[in-house]
Structure 1
Amino acid sequence: MVNRSTGKSSFSIVFTKLPNLALDVAILSKCKSLPASQFTGQYSQMLTDVHTQLNNANQKYKAAADLHKRQVLFKVGDLVMVRLRRERFAPGTYTKLSRRKLGPVPIIAKINDNAYTVELPSGYNTSPTFNVSDIWPYHPPDDTVHIISSSESSSSAAVED
């Protein structure tokens, strides 16, 4: 069956035909035989085609995966919220009621656009390096006064005539 990534069947990649003898392609290139040199040329071309096809398939997969990627860049010193996954907890300490997000914590180093090091509070025995998928910008709560609309006001309020 033809593989969608390579465009060829696995058998045709491994065996170009049913071989009569086990020959090494490197040895065949030094051979003066016309059929042997044609075979090595075809085999080398087939390997090049498979390599190109795999690269094209990987580019398509990357493009499809990048559609769902969240591109967020942080600077050193930014305050962020960090998600602690189950794997980050010591064995036996994780419960379903454990804190999921930690913060705000400052970023102390940028490894690349996808990984940052944060300053974790003492008591957390885990690596301070997090993937960008586990980091959110911290937005402090605002101090604005919320006005209650008349439909939300109490019906027991005195009505003046």
Structure 2
Amino acid sequence: MLRCLVQEHQRGWDEKLGQAEFAYNSMTNRSTGKTPFSIVYTKPPNHTVDLAVLPKCASKPAADFAIQFSQMLQEVREKLDASNRKYKEDANRRRRERSFAPGDLVMIRMRRERFPQEYQSKLSPRRIGPFAVLKQINPNAYVIDLPAHYNTSATFNIGDLVKYHPPDEAPTNLSSTDSDSTDGGGE
């Protein structure tokens, strides 16, 4: 936001900071449906257009104010809960329940931070394995029978594990009639 306000006058960023803060606090939040300013101060902020109209000076009883404020906070909570439910539904729509039993074979996703010496180029394999599952710590963590030369923890998140599917066991028969070489040795 500051980059847009400052543009080519980058040394004057501190003069634009108040403007950026006001703009941010005046924008309606997607989750709450209210501006941060109105949540804190119980009313929308005064803009330049609003300065021509002076605020009302009539005072209301404190009880009415407290009721109005608590109702507004309740609305905010309900909107946040509805927004969180929607985010959860969207995330769970693509999520599949996975679990592994001890002895299952899994492939481990290579991450540069866990396997820096094995993960060297774009052409390196994305997964290594298969390795056996030793035990389940919780629904999201498993201990894998990882060889010692990997020098990393044997506990992995389920997001880094994929069930191992062995290659087809179908027999492959190649005879000289199936190849496209010539009788002279392929010359």
Q: TM-score, normalised by structure 1?
A: 0.71
Distance 1:122 1:76 in 2: 19
Is 1:49 aligned to 2:75, yes or no?
A: yes
Selected match of 1:130 from 133, 156, 173: 156
1:96-107 correspondence runs (5 A): 96=121, 98-107=124-133
Tell me how far 1:68 sits from its aligned partner: 2.4
Residue 109 of structure 1 aligns with an amino acid whose one-letter code is K
2:163 partner amino acid: P
Contact 1:80–1:104 (Cα < 8 Å) also in 2: yes
In the aligned structure 2, how far is the partner of 1:124 from the partner of 1:147?
37
Aligned to 1:28: none
Read off the aligned partner of 2:84 and give its amino acid letter: N
Distance in 1 of aligned mates of 2:134 and 2:62: 61
**How many residues of Structure 1 are paired with residues of Structure 2 in the alignment?**
140
Q: Match of 1:84?
A: 110
Tell me the CA shift for residue 93 of structure 1: 6.9
What is the SS of the residue equivalent to 1:13? helix
The change in CA–CA distance for 1:133 and 1:93 in structure 2 (over 3 A counts) is closer
Unaligned runs of 5+ in 1: 19-33
Aligned partner (choices 64, 71, 84) of residue 38 of structure 1: 64
CA–CA distance in structure 2, aligned partners of residues 93 and 153 of structure 1: 37
How far did residue 40 of structure 1 move? 1.3
Confirm or deny: 8 A CA contact 2:110 2:119 kept in the other structure: no
Q: Percent identity?
A: 50
Residues 38-94 of structure 1: per-residue CA shift (max 9 Å, x gap): 11122122112211211110111111122222432211221111112011135x774
Q: List alignment gaps of at least 5 residues for structure 2.
A: 1-26, 45-59
Residue 115 (structure 1) aligned to one of 141, 157, 172: 141
Please, what is the CA RMSD of the aligned residues?
Answer: 2.9
Describe the shift of the 1:17–1:137 C-alpha distance in structure 2 as closer, same or farther (beyond 3 A).
Answer: closer
**Aligned 8 A contact 1:70 1:133 in 2:** no
Cα distance change, pair 93–104 in 1 and its aligned pair in 2 (3 A): closer
Partner of 1:29: none
TM-score, normalised via structure 2 length: 0.63
CA contact (8 A) 2:111 2:119 kept: no
- Deviating runs (4+, > 3 A) in structure 1? 97-100, 151-157
Higher relative contact order (CA 8 A, sep 6+): 1
Query: For 1:62, which of 88, 91, 94 is the aligned residue?
Result: 88
Shift of 1:155: 7.4
Distance 1:45 1:127 in 2: 50
